[in-house]
Copies of this chain bind each other. A is one copy, B any other.
Amino acid sequence: MSKKLTIGLFGFGVVGQGLYDIIKTKNLNIEIKKIAIKDAGKERSLPASYFTTDKDELLNDPEINTIIELINDTEAAFEIASRALSSGKSVVSASKKMIALHLEELLKLQDQYDTSLLYEGAVCGSIPIIRNLEEYYDNELLHSICGIFNGSSNYILSKGFLEGMDYATALKQAQDLGFAETDPTMDVGGYDAKFKLIIAAAHAYGVVVEPEAVLNLGIENLAADDIQYAREKGLKIKLVPVAKELDDEHVALFVMPKLVTPDEFLYNVEYEYNGVIVQAAFADQQFFFGKGAGGHPTGSAVLSDVAALRYDYQYEYKKLRTNKGLKFTNDIELCVYLRYEDDELVEALEFVEIKERYYSGSYKYIIGKLKLSKLIDNKQRISDQKAFLAFADQLTGVSLVSAK
């Protein structure tokens, strides 16, 4: 039978409001008791007695057995989550950055206090990817995960590719629609996608990786030349996080723009949609598709997590606990498209193999193979030069290999 949940809710924006409405109308055995907000002055749709600006009123209330955390501040979110878990309350959170940064500690707290932290809403909106990686795909049988994890940068890319809109206008639109994070670097720089990738990798492969150790290149430097190049070749550019098992001992992670061919599932993922491709045993591809940005998709995932807590659902982190030595590595080679200004960058990257090289007065590019570590070493240089880089394995027929 289901357990009655008495909820303390942090944050009352689109998601919080929507959650309240559904919980009220549906017969879920869930009650929202108190809502913590930052701004006491704002007009609310509920009686004032629901609200407080004092987080302790929720965290110290013994009747509240479940905390839903939907706030923007990473460190405040971590404090709420860890205090709640430590006092025996279950937590549902949608803060990917907080979870990616503190995964190790959050795992320990769940173990120590036998409490449950669920966060489906933190990764790819309504797509239940964490649950599927956690429950369904055995790591031995999982070749890779990749996808479009950030709706905001995908929206910008779609506007550019499909409508010819320039970058700045598209970014502004994404922000106006509520798809983009307050700091656009999080989205367009690939940080948001990286946090999600790190969370997914923990459930897919049982590895806990520091965000700092994982390369993320974004779409900030995408130029008209790059779009034209892709168009002429019948390709699109997408921002794609990748987790790939190289062998029985190594898994590689990175976030990078990717040149996508029309026969790839991601080719048709446009605007604020997210898509996840799971490549599993029998070389079979599974594609999960849904809205990735905005309040409703997140709300849908948060609500599913809350519903599961009524049955005391916990992530088992089975793969973490039984990890037989699968380790994260950056020691791989990959093929990239690089548009650059100065030859000095090309030299610094020490290409192992150059497959194509083109230059005219204003536009120079290389397609070639290099070590991921060289990209990591030269991240600042790439950024300073406003060079644009995209993963291009699909094109060259080369697949990710260990650099050894």
Verify A304–B136 contact, CB threshold 8 A: yes
**Given the complex of chains A and B, what is the CA–CA distance between A300 and B138 in angstroms?**
11
Verify B126–A286 contact, CB threshold 8 A: yes
A287's partner among B290, B299, B303, B322 (CB-CB below 8 A) is: B290
Given the known inter-chain contacts A2-B322, A289-B289, please indicate yes or no for A141 contacting B284, CB distance below 8 A.
no
Interfacial chain B residues near A36, Cβ < 8 Å: none
Interfacial chain B residues near A27, Cβ < 8 Å: 140, 248, 324
Verify A300–B282 contact, CB threshold 8 A: yes
Verify B282–A18 contact, CB threshold 8 A: yes
Interfacial chain B residues near A296, Cβ < 8 Å: 282-284
Task: Judge if A285 is at the interface, Cβ distance under 8 Å.
Answer: yes
Interfacial chain B residues near A281, Cβ < 8 Å: 22, 26, 299-300, 303-304
Q: How many residues of A are counted as interface, with CB atoms below 8 angstroms from the partner's CB atoms?
A: 45
A297's partner among B284, B287, B324 (CB-CB below 8 A) is: B284
A141's partner among B280, B283, B304, B324 (CB-CB below 8 A) is: B304
Task: Judge if A381 is at the interface, Cβ distance under 8 Å.
Answer: no
Task: Judge if A127 is at the interface, Cβ distance under 8 Å.
Answer: yes
Q: Select from chain B the residue with minimum beta-carbon distance to A296.
A: B282
Interfacial residues of chain A within 30-63, with CB under 8 A of chain B in the complex: none
**Given the complex of chains A and B, what is the CA–CA distance between A254 and B268 in angstroms?**
30
Verify B135–A131 contact, CB threshold 8 A: yes
Given the known inter-chain contacts A131-B132, A304-B137, please indicate yes or no for A290 contacting B284, CB distance below 8 A.
yes
Interfacial chain B residues near A138, Cβ < 8 Å: 28, 304, 307-308
Task: Judge if A318 is at the interface, Cβ distance under 8 Å.
Answer: yes
Verify A282–B22 contact, CB threshold 8 A: yes
Interfacial residues of chain A within 298-319, with CB under 8 A of chain B in the complex: 299-300, 303-304, 307-308, 311, 318
**Given the complex of chains A and B, what is the CA–CA distance between A286 and B126 in angstroms?**
7
Interfacial chain B residues near A268, Cβ < 8 Å: 268
**Given the complex of chains A and B, what is the CA–CA distance between A140 and B136 in angstroms?**
23
Given the known inter-chain contacts A2-B322, A135-B135, A318-B311, please indicate yes or no for A140 contacting B26, CB distance below 8 A.
yes
Verify A141–B1 contact, CB threshold 8 A: no
Verify B299–A290 contact, CB threshold 8 A: no
A1-36, CB under 8 A of B: which get 1 and which 0? 110000000000000001000100011100000000
Task: Judge if A288 is at the interface, Cβ distance under 8 Å.
Answer: yes
Task: Judge if A241 is at the interface, Cβ distance under 8 Å.
Answer: no
Q: Select from chain B the residue with minimum beta-carbon distance to A14.
A: B282
User: Min CB distance, A115 to chain B, in Å?
Assistant: 20
Task: Judge if A89 is at the interface, Cβ distance under 8 Å.
Answer: no
Interfacial chain B residues near A311, Cβ < 8 Å: 318
A-B contact pairs, 28 of them (CB 8 A): A1-B322, A2-B322, A26-B141, A27-B140, A27-B248, A27-B324, A28-B140, A126-B280, A126-B286, A128-B286, A131-B132, A131-B135, A131-B136, A132-B132, A136-B308, A137-B304, A138-B304, A138-B308, A141-B303, A141-B304, A268-B268, A281-B299, A281-B300, A282-B299, A283-B296, A285-B291, A286-B300, A289-B289
Given A128-B136, A138-B308, 14 more contacts at CB 8 Å?
A1-B322, A27-B324, A128-B132, A132-B132, A138-B307, A280-B300, A281-B303, A282-B299, A282-B303, A284-B300, A285-B290, A285-B291, A289-B289, A311-B318
